[in-house]
Structure formats: C-alpha cells, structure tokens
C-alpha cells in the first residue's frame, strides 16, 4: 500500500533520514521505534508531504506521492495525527472535527463519519461546543484522533499518541487504536511507549540515526535484546 | 595603517585598498568635475551614506528595525539651529544635539526593545509621529509648519559656506566617521555581542551578554551619529522645518539604502546609497525635474526587487559570487581526519584524582505552572562540585523546564536557585546573563547557533566573556575549537554545520565562557554512534578539568558511562535519585519509560 | 452638553470609517501574521480609482463599490502571490516589513508621478449633505460609513464562523501545520485572505472618496490611525478592531475639541504607544500580539 524506497530527507542542509526503505501493507499495523532524534517524526512528516524527500521515492497505492504538497496527500487518503495533538485551540471541538473533513471526498460523508467518531469517543460528543484549547491532554488526544478519522483515511499515521499523557489515558488511546484497526484502516505508528506499540503491531522497524537497522514482527522485536538495550540500557 | 589595525576593521590589504579607492573617488570626482550638480549629488551620497551607516548600527547589527530615526536627525538640526541665534557655533550644537539624541534614544528604546519585528517598527513610527506633531504644535520653538531660517553667517565657525567644497569635506568627514565607528563596532567585542543578541537572544544571554545593555549602547551611538549628520544638513540647507526634519519618508529611505546595500554589513549602507542615489538623479535628468515622485518610485521598486531576489543586498550578492561557499571548502576529504586528529593529539590534562566536593548549586522547592499545566512540582536538587549529574525522564517530564530555572531563563513561581560563586558566597542570580557570569553555562536542546557567524566567531562570543580583546578571544576560541573537534570547520558558517557539528558548537561556545557548572541539554540527541563516543570523551575531559556537569540525556549508554548520579523526572516531579545502575533497575523508572506492562514482561 | 453629544456622535461616525479601513488590516495580520505597511496605499489606489471612474463616467461613487472592491481583491491577490508569498518562509521578519514598506513607497510615488501632489475631490452626490436629528447634525456619508462598517465586520464574522472556507482561514491562522494536515492549501488561504483584506479597503475607498479629497499620501494619514485601532483592539481580532475604531473615533473627536485640534494625533499615538508597551495584546487580543 505504502512503500518508501531509499528515502533521504531533512531540513535545510541538515539531512535526517539517510535512505530508509519502509513498506506498509493493506490492513497492517506497522510501527517505527527509535530514540529521540532518530528521525521518526521526520519519516512521518515526509510521508505526509510536509517535508520534501531529497532522494528516493514514496508510492501510495501505486502512485508516486513524493513530490505532492501536504494537502494533496490528505486527499489521497493519508492522514497524519501529529505529535502534540496540534488542535485548533480557539475553535470548538465540533469545528475541529469539521476541519478534519475538509477535503471534498470527506466532506460529503462528514455526518456519517461524525457518528462513527462519536461511537469511538463518547466523551468527545459531550464536549462539542467547548474550545479545543480548554480540554485536558487526554481529551485533546481523543479529539485529535477523531479529527484524523474525519478525513476518511485509508492510512493513518500516528506520531507519539501517548506523549505527555497519564498511564490510564495511554491505555485508552491504545484501545481506541485497536478499534480503528479493526475497521480496516491501515496504521503506521511512531511511539516511545515501546511495549504498547510493539504488542499491537504486526511488524516493526528500528530507526537509528536516520537509518533502518532492524525489522521484524512486533512480537519478535519485543523480545529483542538490542531493542531493550537501546531503550533503557538494560 | 599596519595589518593589525586593518584586521581590527575586518579588512585584509586588498580590501583596504578597495575601500580607500572607493572613498577617494567619492571625494575626488566632485572636486575634479566642479559642477554644482555633481557637488550636490556627492554631498547627498555622503549624507545618506552616513545616515544609513549610522542607522545600520541599530537596524543591522542589533537587528532592531527603527523607522523613526528622523527623530535624531531632526533633533540634531534643531539643537544646533536654535543655538546659532545665541551666538553658539553649530560645531558645539552638533555635539549637544548628539548627546540629547543619545539620551532620547535610550529613553524611547528601554520600553520599545521589548517589542519584536514589525511591532518595534510601528512603535518607532509612532514616536516619530508624536515628535513631529509636537514640533508642529510648539511654533514658538520650532517655527511650526513655517520652519526656521538659520541666520546666514558664513565661515567654518558657522558651518555655512559660499563655496561647495567645505560642505563636501564636512559631509565626507561625517561619512568617514560613521564608517569608522561602524567598522570598529562590527569587529569588536561589542559588535559580536550585538550580532549574537540579534541572532539568538537566549544563546547570547547564556554566553553572559546583557542583551538590553548592548542594544541600548547601540541605539545611543547610532542616534548620536544620526544627529550629527542632521546638524550638518540643517546648516547646509540653512532652513529647518518639522516636515523635512522629522520625516517618515527620510526614516524609511535610510533604512532602505542599508537593506539594498546589505543590512548588517559595514559597507552595505554606503554601497546601497551609491547605487540608488545616482540612479535616481540620472533618471531625473532623463525625465526632467517635473517627474516628481520618480525617485521615491525607484527607491520603492528597487527595495521590493532586492528583498525578493537579493535578500542579502549588494554586499551579500557580491561576496557570494567571489568567494567559494565555506562549506564547499570544508567538505573536502581530509576535513574529517583533521578533526579526529585534533582530538587525538589534544594535550592531555594532568589526570588528578577527581574529588566530588561541596555543594555548588542548590535548588529548593521549585514550582512552575504554565496556565493550568504544572511543569515543576516541589523540585529539590543539590549538585556537588565536580560531579556529573544525569537527568533523565520521559518526554514532557519537565527536564528542560528545570534547566531553564537553573540558568535564569525561567523564573520559578516559587522556590529558589542558589549558586556558590568563586569566592564561596551563595548567591541567587536574577537573569540569564548573571547566571552565566557567575559561571553557570548551558546549551540548548534545540541548537542555537548564531547563524550569520562563522564557527570560530560563534565560539568567540563565548570567549569574549573572559577576554575583552579580539585577539585574545580569537586565540581562546581557536584553542576551544581544536579541543572540541571543530578545527577543520572553524571558518564555516555555523548554519552549514551537520547536526553533530552544531551540537559540538553549542558546547564549544559555552566552554569558551569557562563555566564552573555546565548544563548540557540533550547534546547527544540525533548523533550517530561515532559522534556519541566522541561526545562522551569530550564530557569526560570537561569533567576532568574540574567543571561540574549536569546533563539531560536520552542516550542511556552515555548517561550510564558518565554520570556519578542520576535523577529521574516524571510528570514534573522527582521520581528517583541515586547511582545510575540502581536507578535503571527501579521499577518505577522502568514504568515511567516503557509502560507498566513492560515491568511485568521484563520480570 | 449639546456640543459634547454632537462630538460623541461625530466620533462614533468617524469610528465607523476607521473600522472599515482597519478590518482588512487586522484580518491580514491575524491570518497571515503579516503587518501590511502598504495597507494605506491600497486605500489610496481605491480612492483614485473611485475618483477617476466617478469623474469620467459620472457615476455615483457608491455605485462603484463592486468594481473597485473587485479591483482591490485582484491587486491584493497579486501582491500576496508574487511579492509576499515567496517571503513567507524567510528567516527574518525584516524582509516582509521591507517588502510592504517598499511597496508603499513605490505606490505613493507612482501616484505622485501620475496625478501630481495636488488633492482631488471626488463629486459627493449628496454624501456631504447634513441630516438633522433634533439639535444634532450628521453627514449622510458618515451614516453610510458607519452602517457599512457594522455590516462589513458582521459579514466577515459570519463568513469566518459559518463557512468551510472561513473556518479553513481560521484554522490556518491557529495552526498552519495542522491546517495542512487537514488538506488545506495554506498558500491559497493566504492569497484569498490578502485579497479579502484588500477588498475591504476597496469598499472603504468608495465610501471615503466622496467625503475626503484624495492625494498620494492620503493612505498614510488613515493607515497610521488604522494601526492604532488594530493594536488597541488586539491584532487579528475583528470585533476588537470595531470597538477599537469607535474608541479612537471618540478620542479623535473629543481631544480635537477639548485639547487642541493639532494635538489630537499626539493623544492618539500616545494611546498607541501605551497599549503597545503595556498591553501589546490589545483589548481583545488572543495573547499573541508580541510575536
């Protein structure tokens, strides 16, 4: 479904990704793990069209998307739920969700999608008329995910969905991701919460200093000594 | 001038000859041609060149876009003009006006420097309008809209002449004076401080720079010079009116010339003037004097084109054309070996038995909240002299917030940070530069290079802290560059370094301030294995030289290798504190990092 | 007392005029984060267009609102697309300031070249006729401006709150990266926003033209006041601009009478500096004014 081949990318003169190759199949849950600064976020931003790859190719459903601007990538069905939520703070929750369905394709089905989002996040329905900026971190993350769903994505990219959340909320977030996966959406997820992600992922990639150093099934990586050392020095 | 003096103005021999030829031409052409029109053009060039060069000290070096500089120009003209009827020479008035302008400039700037970018520009316009309206209102002093005639007393004493030559000489003298001042500033400690403050104010403060103070000095000098030119121009015109003296158009023009020539460079403003003034005079010649508005139209259009296509101005355009990009020069093979070599044959410090001594930094009950979000809750921390303290914790735990409080960048809501100074007294510094001065140095998680400076110049900003002279600072910076493995890249522009290089530069700059306590914020994030090993060696050396190190780090390998002690932050609180090997086995710590389930899975 | 209330009335009417000029300025700042130093010159362009069309065609200036608004929209779109958009990612703020300052200088002097420094009066077609309300008198044109000011601010507010495009504009202002992730083409949003901001000035120009003579520097006079209004109301806030405009209108009218006519600008700029320095977010700013 999504294929990155020898992709290099960075900001200005600084190259962050050095020729990484990643594949995500239809219906899979794939994760990228790696230390801070390894280039995980850059990978997702490059797929989403926010960062231009300097080398290599990115194809989605057979179409080359490496040169497309971000808003056209969204239209094709790839949605990034960014690190730190990035809600529109002075808009109501309802407006945030409507913005999620901005593309013509998603706008036509906005009402149905909204009902689906409410079924996943009953709490969000209660907060519809509040400003997004006034919600708690956990609620904001729920809105961010719901907003991402509003775009009717085929491929959802999650960037650190558990960042800055209390453990109990993290658990809820991952349960939600499970439910989303169950509806047939393909997921690529980047997380520092290694255990959670690897345990729900079909496959994982280990990214170190902008290079893929290892790839295996989620379960195998979870037992891997190298992964454990890289994460806690044990 | 000998080479040393030339170097103080940043010139080599060839550059010096070119500048001398340029200046000689400005003087020689009108004296040779001797037509009134040519005199007029060159006097105009000298005046605008001088005004623009003076403006550039604030607008360029300090990066504060004043669009109200006519205030000082007008003050200079009015001060001298009003003193003449009392029999006081405008030469005296020139200095009186300069002093007055400097004071006014500082009074205006103290509040305005809190504003940034367009808001600062708007505030300076507003001040100019207020002064202009007041000048119109107080007719008794200023002559109001009618203006004032300066009594026609001829001679050097009164700065008014029948011939054009003396006026040209004075205008040229003013141009020379402003160029010398600007050139001296640019290449002295003061200039480095100004540019560092402009580029990255936090990093400048961390290098011990009192950013407000250097900016105020810059604005005072700039205003005084502008005022002196204003005095002369008032005498040259022999007529002073608020409309011409406190003019927004003039303020914009002098800023414009600097931008066209190359903002922030010494010669840029003059070059901009040399391009635009003759161009407009020629165009006026072709289209006739009736073409009112033509010069302004050309100014505006040239400015827009320059901004779009040559944002570094004429100077930037030509230096780029004639010099190879520094990174190309440094990217040659061998650069890497050289830097590795520098690390190897580094003169080894005598290895002393390291003793961890008395407390040197104490934080008590630090609390901080942003809005409803608590980012620090009752944090207590004692740091011993000579130890390496590692700080770890998940993203968002409040590590950088803690650093910001330990270095004066963020005042805690409650609680206190105390540092033991060189004489053993406990003090609580009040601002980032005071922390730096007492010996607390820090790096920033998001690297903050002074992008427009070379690597060496970046390090010199730190070195100036203990070495006021440019030469001494340069030597110190060279020494630090070598120790930090930045020798091969020393003449590169900082923005062109690799991420690893920028991290090393970040450490190098703070090491050049010779800190006693060093706060390192994720200096290893994003580095590859080789770089990480180098960084560990580097920090060991720093530690062995007697510097106390506090390091926020995610690279566990480095934390384990370096730290004498580790504290763990989680959700704004201190979660654990102890020996590194104990801390990582603490179940609470593992949970904070990997999630609860991992504890069971690992068990 | 009659004098006082007449002055208040004048002030409010003047406020309507300031509001309609300021609203485009605050919109452009709020969305694009750009301080448009050439805003006054857009007004000047609109006023010359109105003056020329009215005198040449003999049409009521108000009837020229549609073509002038459209003209300014196009001018705004072109400025954003070809001058400002290439500078959006620039390292320094100063290039954007200089681009609009340069544009302003070029436009003022172009007008000087084309029309000379003299002032030209647009035929008023009754806009300068006074209406009497008991002891009070107001000019018809001022009432029109006041009503138009309310309509424009209200209309823009509804547009931004209720339409998809309006929401996309707000979303872009609040988080430009997130807006891209929603599928919003932010460059297009910026171009449209600048166009709308300029179009507001176009409408203002047709309403101002019959009331005030046009000259190359007419924009400078009005836009300095507009900056005060916008900073007072809070950069980027529409209703802030409206209330700020009314306040400045009142200050202008009252201080001109009770202090001195030639010092009213000093009072206005003193308020401006006070707000910038003490509360840079203005009365209704969202805490982002000092960016």
Contact between A167 and B525 using a beta-carbon 8 Å cutoff: no
C217 has a chain B CB within 8 A of its CB: no
* Position B202 pLDDT exceeds 60: yes
C217 has a chain A CB within 8 A of its CB: no
Query: CB-side exposure of C269: number of CA atoms within 13 Å?
Result: 22
The residue assigned the tokens 């594949």 is A23
Helices (H), B3-146: 3-8, 13-33, 36-56, 70-83, 90-112, 117-137, 139-142
Look at chain B and report how many structural domains it folds into.
2
Q: How confident is the model at residue B387 (pLDDT cuts 50, 70, 90)?
A: very high
Nearest C-alpha in B relative to A207: B526
C-alpha span between A212 and A208 (Å, rounded): 6
Partners of B308 on chain C (C-beta within 8 Å) are: 83, 86-87, 99
Partners of C116 on chain B (C-beta within 8 Å) are: 292
Nearest C-alpha in C relative to B66: C94
Domain-embedded: residue B322: no
- Gyration radius (Cα) of chain C, Å: 19
pLDDT at B282: 80
- The CATH number of whichever domain residue B448 belongs to comes to 3.40.50.300
> b/e string for A2-41 if b means 16 or more Cβ within 10 A?
bbbbebbbbeeebbbbbbbebebeeebbbbbbbbbbbbbb
C224 has a chain B CB within 8 A of its CB: yes
Lowest mean pLDDT among A5-19, C45-59, C158-172, C202-216: A5-19
C-alpha span between B512 and A146 (Å, rounded): 50
Dihedral class, residue B546 (left if φ above 0, else alpha if ψ from -120 to 50, else beta): left
Q: How confident is the model at residue B517 (pLDDT cuts 50, 70, 90)?
A: very high
C-alpha span between B180 and C120 (Å, rounded): 48
Q: State how far residue C177 is from chain B, nearest Cα, in angstroms.
A: 19
CA distances to A86, B259, B354, C85, C185 from C176, rounded to whole Å, are: 10, 29, 52, 14, 10
C-alpha span between C77 and B459 (Å, rounded): 45
Return the SS3 of B433.
helix
Contact between A70 and C168 using a beta-carbon 8 Å cutoff: no
Taking alpha carbons only, the member of C38, C57, C70, C35 closest to residue C122 is: C57
| Residue that wins the pLDDT comparison between C280 and B600 | C280
Contact between A193 and B595 using a beta-carbon 8 Å cutoff: yes
Joined together, the tokens standing for residue C4 give 């006082």
Return the SS3 of B88.
coil
Q: In chain A, where are the structural domains located?
A: 2-77+154-232, 85-149
Range ranked top by mean pLDDT from A18-27, A185-194, B284-293, C254-263: A18-27
Tens-digit pLDDT profile for residues B142-201? 888 899 999 989 999 999 998 889 999 999 999 999 999 999 999 899 999 999 999 899
User: Would you tell me which residues 186-205 of chain C have a C-beta closer than 8 angstroms to some C-beta of chain A?
Assistant: 186
* Position A230 pLDDT exceeds 90: no
The ipTM, to two decimals, is 0.91
Cα angle B351, B356, B361 (rounded to 5 degrees) comes to 125
- What is the share, in percent, of chain B residues with pLDDT greater than 90? 53
Q: What is the mean pLDDT of residues A187-200?
A: 84
Contact between B601 and A222 using a beta-carbon 8 Å cutoff: yes
Tens-digit pLDDT profile for residues A156-191? 999 988 877 777 788 888 888 989 999 989 999 998
Contact between C280 and B119 using a beta-carbon 8 Å cutoff: yes
Nearest C-alpha in A relative to C174: A88
User: Sign (positive/negative) of CA torsion B527, B533, B538, B543?
Assistant: positive
- Do the beta carbons of residue B226 and residue B100 sit within 8 Å? no
The residue assigned the tokens 């703020």 is C93
Q: How confident is the model at residue B365 (pLDDT cuts 50, 70, 90)?
A: very high
| Residue that wins the pLDDT comparison between C15 and B291 | C15
Tens-digit pLDDT profile for residues B39-66? 989 999 999 999 999 999 999 999 999 9
The residue assigned the tokens 């000093």 is C266
pLDDT at B595: 56
C-alpha span between B468 and B491 (Å, rounded): 21
* Position C286 pLDDT exceeds 50: yes
A50 has a chain C CB within 8 A of its CB: yes
Out of B396, B560, B594, name the one closest to residue A194 (CB). Answer: B594
User: DSSP string covering C156-211, please?
Assistant: HHHHHHHSHHHHHHHHHHH-HHHHHHTT--HHHHHHHHHHHHHHHHHHHHHHHTTT
Q: What is the mean pLDDT of residues C22-33?
A: 91
Q: State how far residue C48 is from chain B, nearest Cα, in angstroms.
A: 16
Nearest C-alpha in A relative to B525: A37
Tens-digit pLDDT profile for residues B77-112? 999 999 999 999 999 999 999 999 999 999 999 988
Expressed in angstroms, the distance from the first to the final Cα of chain A is 36
Q: How confident is the model at residue B350 (pLDDT cuts 50, 70, 90)?
A: very low
Neighbours of chain C (3+ CB pairs under 8 A): A, B
C274 has a chain B CB within 8 A of its CB: no
User: Would you tell me which residues 439-458 of chain B have a C-beta closer than 8 angstroms to some C-beta of chain C?
Assistant: 451
Partners of C171 on chain A (C-beta within 8 Å) are: 88, 91, 99
Q: State how far residue B144 is from chain C, nearest Cα, in angstroms.
A: 11
* Position C70 pLDDT exceeds 90: yes
The overall longest dimension of chain A from CA atoms, in Å, is 52
User: Would you tell me which residues 78-117 of chain A have a C-beta closer than 8 angstroms to some C-beta of chain C?
Assistant: 79-80, 82, 86-91, 95, 98-100, 102-103, 106-107
Lowest mean pLDDT among A216-225, B39-48, C32-41: A216-225
| Residue that wins the pLDDT comparison between C101 and A230 | C101
Q: What residues form DSSP beta bridges with B550? A: B389, B519
Contact between B593 and A232 using a beta-carbon 8 Å cutoff: yes
The residue assigned the tokens 């809190």 is B114
Contact between C177 and A50 using a beta-carbon 8 Å cutoff: yes
Question: Domain residues for B575?
Answer: 349-602
Contact between C273 and B127 using a beta-carbon 8 Å cutoff: yes
Q: According to the 3-state scheme, what is the secondary structure of A71-112?
A: HHHHHHCEEEECCCCCCCCCCEHHHHHHHHCCCHHHHCCHHH
Lowest mean pLDDT among A36-45, A124-133, B63-72, C2-11: A36-45
* Position B1 pLDDT exceeds 70: no
* Position A30 pLDDT exceeds 90: yes
Dihedral class, residue B149 (left if φ above 0, else alpha if ψ from -120 to 50, else beta): beta
pLDDT at B538: 86
pLDDT at B343: 36
pLDDT at B504: 86
| Beta-strand relationship, B239-240 and B359-370 | unpaired
Q: How confident is the model at residue A55 (pLDDT cuts 50, 70, 90)?
A: very high
Q: How confident is the model at residue A234 (pLDDT cuts 50, 70, 90)?
A: very low
Q: Where is the domain boundary, B232, B248, B264?
A: B248
C-alpha span between B152 and A123 (Å, rounded): 84
C-alpha span between A136 and B50 (Å, rounded): 57
Q: Where is the domain boundary, B248, B283, B311?
A: B248
Q: What is the mean pLDDT of residues B118-135?
A: 92
Taking alpha carbons only, the member of C100, C106, C61, C97 closest to residue C80 is: C100
Q: State how far residue A106 is from chain B, nearest Cα, in angstroms.
A: 34
CA B378 to chain centre: 36
Nearest C-alpha in A relative to B493: A13
Return the SS3 of C90.
coil
The residue assigned the tokens 């001594």 is B357
Out of C91, C93, C273, name the one closest to residue B123 (CB). Answer: C273
Contact between C95 and B311 using a beta-carbon 8 Å cutoff: yes
Tens-digit pLDDT profile for residues C110-152? 999 999 888 999 988 888 888 888 888 888 999 999 999 999 9
Interface residue of B592, B594, B602 to substitute, partner A, most A CBs within 10 Å: B594
Q: State how far residue C237 is from chain A, nearest Cα, in angstroms.
A: 12
Domain-embedded: residue B438: yes
Range ranked top by mean pLDDT from B364-373, B579-588, C43-52, C250-259: C43-52
* Position B442 pLDDT exceeds 90: yes
Q: State how far residue B276 is from chain C, nearest Cα, in angstroms.
A: 14
Statement to judge: residues B243 and B358 lie in one domain: no
C-alpha span between C177 and C182 (Å, rounded): 9
DSSP run (H or E) holding B587: helix B587-594
User: Would you tell me which residues 25-44 of chain C have a C-beta closer than 8 angstroms to some C-beta of chain A?
Assistant: none
| Beta-strand relationship, B548-552 and A53-60 | unpaired
- What is the share, in percent, of chain C residues with pLDDT greater than 70? 97
Query: CB-side exposure of B471: number of CA atoms within 13 Å?
Result: 6
B37 has a chain C CB within 8 A of its CB: no
- A2-77+154-232 CATH pick, 3.90.1150.10, 3.40.50.12160, 3.40.50.300, 3.10.20.30: 3.40.50.300
Contact between A103 and C170 using a beta-carbon 8 Å cutoff: no
Joined together, the tokens standing for residue A133 give 């900026």
| Residue that wins the pLDDT comparison between C135 and A37 | C135
| Residue that wins the pLDDT comparison between A59 and B397 | A59
- The CATH number of whichever domain residue B232 belongs to comes to 1.10.3470
Cα angle B281, B282, B286 (rounded to 5 degrees) comes to 120
């Amino acid at each position: 479904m999504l294929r990155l081949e020898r992709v290099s990318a960075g900001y200005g003169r600084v190259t962050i990704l050095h020729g990484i190759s990643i594949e995500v199949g239809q219906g899979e849950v794939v994760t990228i793990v790696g230390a801070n600064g390894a280039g995980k976020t850059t990978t997702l931003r490059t797929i989403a069209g926010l960062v231009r790859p300097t080398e290599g190719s990115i194809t989605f459903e057979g179409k080359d998307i490496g040169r497309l601007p971000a808003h056209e990538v969204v239209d094709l069905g790839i949605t990034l739920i960014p690190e730190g939520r990035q809600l529109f703070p002075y808009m109501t929750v309802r407006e945030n969700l409507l913005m999620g369905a901005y593309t013509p394709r998603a706008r036509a089905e906005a009402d149905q999608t909204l009902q689906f989002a409410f079924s996943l996040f009953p709490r969000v329905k209660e907060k519809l008329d509040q400003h997004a900026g006034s919600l708690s971190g956990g609620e904001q993350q729920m809105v961010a995910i719901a907003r991402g769903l509003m775009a009717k994505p085929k491929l959802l990219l999650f960037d650190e969905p558990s960042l800055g959340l209390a453990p109990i909320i993290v658990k809820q977030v991952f349960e939600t991701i499970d439910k989303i996966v169950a509806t047939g959406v393909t997921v690529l997820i980047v997380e520092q919460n290694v255990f959670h992600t690897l345990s729900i992922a079909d496959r994982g990639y280990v990214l170190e200093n902008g290079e893929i150093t290892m790839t295996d099934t989620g379960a195998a990586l979870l037992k891997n000594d190298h992964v454990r050392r890289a994460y806690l020095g044990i | 001038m000998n080479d040393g003096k030339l170097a103080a103005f940043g010139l080599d021999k060839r550059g010096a000859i070119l500048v001398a030829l340029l200046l000689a031409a400005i003087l020689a052409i009108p004296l040779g041609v001797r037509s009134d029109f040519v005199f007029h053009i060159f006097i105009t060039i000298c005046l605008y060149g001088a005004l623009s060069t003076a403006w550039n000290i604030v607008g360029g070096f300090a990066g504060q876009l004043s669009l109200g500089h006519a205030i000082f120009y007008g003050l200079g003209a009015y001060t001298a003009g009003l003193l003449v009827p009392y029999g006081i020479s405008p030469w005296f008035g020139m200095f009186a006006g300069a002093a007055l302008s400097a004071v006014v400039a500082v009074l205006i700037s103290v509040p305005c420097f809190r504003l940034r970018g367009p808001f600062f520009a708007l505030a300076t316009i507003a001040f100019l309008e207020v002064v202009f309206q007041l000048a119109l209102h107080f007719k008794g002093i200023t002559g109001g809209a009618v203006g004032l005639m300066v009594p026609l007393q001829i001679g050097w004493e009164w700065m008014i002449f029948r011939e054009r030559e003396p006026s040209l000489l004075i205008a040229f003298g003013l141009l020379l004076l402003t160029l010398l001042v600007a050139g001296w500033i640019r290449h002295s400690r003061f200039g480095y401080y100004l540019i560092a403050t402009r580029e990255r104010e936090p990093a400048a403060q961390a290098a011990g720079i009192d950013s407000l103070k250097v900016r105020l000095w810059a604005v005072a000098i700039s205003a005084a010079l502008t005022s002196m030119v204003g005095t002369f121009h008032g005498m040259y015109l022999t007529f002073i009116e608020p409309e011409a003296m406190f003019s927004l158009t003039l303020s914009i023009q002098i800023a414009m010339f600097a931008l066209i020539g190359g903002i922030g460079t010494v010669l840029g403003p003059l070059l901009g003037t040399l391009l635009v003034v003759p161009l407009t005079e020629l165009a006026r010649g072709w289209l006739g004097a009736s073409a009112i508005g033509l010069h302004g139209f050309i100014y505006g259009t040239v400015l827009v084109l320059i901004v779009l296509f040559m944002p570094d101005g004429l100077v930037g355009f030509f230096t780029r054309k004639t010099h190879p990009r520094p990174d190309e020069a440094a990217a040659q093979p061998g650069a890497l070996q050289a830097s590795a070599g520098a690390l190897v044959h580094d003169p080894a410090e005598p290895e002393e038995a390291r003793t961890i001594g008395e407390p040197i930094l104490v934080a008590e009950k630090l609390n901080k909240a942003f809005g409803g979000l608590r980012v620090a809750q009752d944090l207590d921390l004692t740091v011993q002299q000579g130890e390496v303290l590692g700080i770890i914790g998940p993203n968002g735990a409040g590590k950088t917030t803690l650093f910001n409080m330990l270095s004066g960048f963020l005042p805690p809501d409650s609680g206190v940070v105390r540092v033991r100074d060189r004489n053993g007294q406990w003090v609580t510094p009040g601002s980032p530069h005071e922390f730096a001065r007492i010996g607390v140095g820090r790096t920033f998680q998001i690297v903050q290079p002074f992008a427009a400076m070379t690597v060496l110049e970046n390090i010199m900003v730190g070195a100036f802290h203990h070495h006021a002279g440019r030469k001494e600072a340069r030597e110190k910076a060279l020494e630090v560059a070598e120790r930090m493995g930045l020798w091969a890249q020393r003449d590169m522009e900082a923005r062109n370094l690799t991420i690893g290089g920028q991290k090393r530069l970040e450490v190098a700059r703070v090491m050049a301030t010779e800190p006693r306590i060093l706060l390192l914020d994720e200096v290893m994030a994003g580095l590859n294995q080789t770089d990480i090993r180098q960084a560990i060696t580097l920090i060991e050396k720093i530690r062995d030289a007697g510097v106390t190190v506090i390091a926020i780090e995610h690279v566990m390998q480095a934390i384990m290798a370096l730290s004498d002690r580790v504290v763990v932050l989680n959700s704004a609180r201190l979660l654990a504190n102890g020996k590194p090997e104990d801390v990582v086995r603490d179940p609470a710590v593992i949970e904070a990092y990997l999630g609860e389930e991992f504890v069971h899975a690992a068990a | 007392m009659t004098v006082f209330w007449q002055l208040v009335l004048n002030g409010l009417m003047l406020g309507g005029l300031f509001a309609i000029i300021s609203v485009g300025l605050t919109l452009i700042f709020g969305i694009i984060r750009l301080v448009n130093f050439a805003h006054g010159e857009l007004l000047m362009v609109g006023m010359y267009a109105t003056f020329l069309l009215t005198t040449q065609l003999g049409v009521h200036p108000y009837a020229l609102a549609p073509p002038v608004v459209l003209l300014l929209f196009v001018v705004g779109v072109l400025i954003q697309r070809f001058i400002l958009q290439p500078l959006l990612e620039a390292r320094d703020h100063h290039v954007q300031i200089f681009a609009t300052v340069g544009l302003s200088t070029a436009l003022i002097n172009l007008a000087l070249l084309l029309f000379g420094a003299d002032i030209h009066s647009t035929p008023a077609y009754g806009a300068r006729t006074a209406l009497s309300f008991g002891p009070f008198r107001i000019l018809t044109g001022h009432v029109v401006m006041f009503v138009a000011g309310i309509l424009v601010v209200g209309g823009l507010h509804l547009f931004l709150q209720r339409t998809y495009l309006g929401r996309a504009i707000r979303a872009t202002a609040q988080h430009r990266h997130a807006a891209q992730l929603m599928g919003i083409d932010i460059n297009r949003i910026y171009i449209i926003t600048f166009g709308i901001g300029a179009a507001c000035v176009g409408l203002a120009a047709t309403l101002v033209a019959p009331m005030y003579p046009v000259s190359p520097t007419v924009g400078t006079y009005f836009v300095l006041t507009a900056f005060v209004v916008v900073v007072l109301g809070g950069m980027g806030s529409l209703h802030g601009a409206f209330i700020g405009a009314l306040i400045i209108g009142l200050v202008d009218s009252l201080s001109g009478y009770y202090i001195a006519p030639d010092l009213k600008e000093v009072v206005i700029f003193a308020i401006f500096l006070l707000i910038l320095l003490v509360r840079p977010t203005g009365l209704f700013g969202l805490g982002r004014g000092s960016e």
